[in-house]
Amino acid sequence: MDLNCTPCGRADPTAAPAGVSPGMVAASRCIDAAAATAYILGRQCPQGGFSFYRTPQWGVEEPNALDTYAAVAALRLLGVEVPQAQRIGSWLSTLQRDDGSWPSLTVAWACCEALALLGQTPRVDPGGWLRRLWHGRLASIQTTGREWRGTLIDLHRLAQLIQRFAPDAIGQERSRLQHLLDAALADDGAWAAPGADLESSGAAVELAGRAGLTIDHTRLAAWWRRCEDPVLGLRLTPSAWVTSAGALGGGLTVARCLGVPLRYPQAVCRQLHLLQQPSGGFSARHQALVSLWDTWLALCTAACLAPELPAHA
* Coil, strand or helix at 276: strand
* Position 276 pLDDT exceeds 80: yes
Mean pLDDT on 214-232: 97
**120-164: pLDDT as tens digits:** 999 999 999 999 999 999 999 999 888 899 999 999 999 999 999
Largest CA distance in the chain: 55
Asked if residue 35 has a cis previous peptide bond (ω within 30° of 0), the answer is no
Mean pLDDT on 56-82: 88
Q: Give pTM, 2 decimals.
A: 0.90
Q: What does pLDDT average to over the chain? A: 89
Helix 245-258 / helix 198-211 crossing angle, nearest 10 deg: 40
Q: What per-residue confidence (pLDDT) applies to 247?
A: 97
Residue 61 · residue 54 · CB < 8 Å: yes
User: How far is Cα of residue 24 from the mean position of the Cα atoms in its chain?
Assistant: 17
Mean pLDDT on 222-236: 97
What is each CA distance from 251 to 14, 219, 301, in whole angstroms?
Answer: 24, 15, 9
* Position 38 pLDDT exceeds 70: yes
pLDDT more than 70, % of the chain: 88
Mean pLDDT on 262-283: 96
What is each CA distance from 306 to 24, 26, 253, in whole angstroms?
Answer: 7, 5, 13
Among 25-39, 256-270, 292-306, the range scoring the smallest mean pLDDT is 25-39
**1-11: pLDDT as tens digits:** 333 334 443 43
Name the β-bridge partners of 50: 44, 64
54 vs 187: which has the higher pLDDT: 187
pLDDT more than 90, % of the chain: 80
Read off the amino acid at residue 178: Q
79 vs 3: which has the higher pLDDT: 79
Q: What per-residue confidence (pLDDT) applies to 4?
A: 35
**165-208: pLDDT as tens digits:** 999 999 999 999 999 999 999 999 999 998 999 999 999 999 99
Q: What per-residue confidence (pLDDT) applies to 83?
A: 95
Q: Would you place residue 53 in the very low, low, confident or very high pLDDT band (cuts 50, 70, 90)?
A: confident
- The Cβ of residue 13 has, within 10 Å, a number of other Cβ atoms equal to 19
Pairing mode of beta strands 228-229, 233-234: antiparallel
Mean pLDDT on 69-91: 95
Name the β-bridge partners of 185: 191
Mean pLDDT on 224-245: 97
Beta strands (DSSP E) in 211-284 are 228-229, 233-234, 282-283
Through-space distance between the first and last CA atoms of the chain, rounded to whole angstroms: 36
Name the β-bridge partners of 233: 229
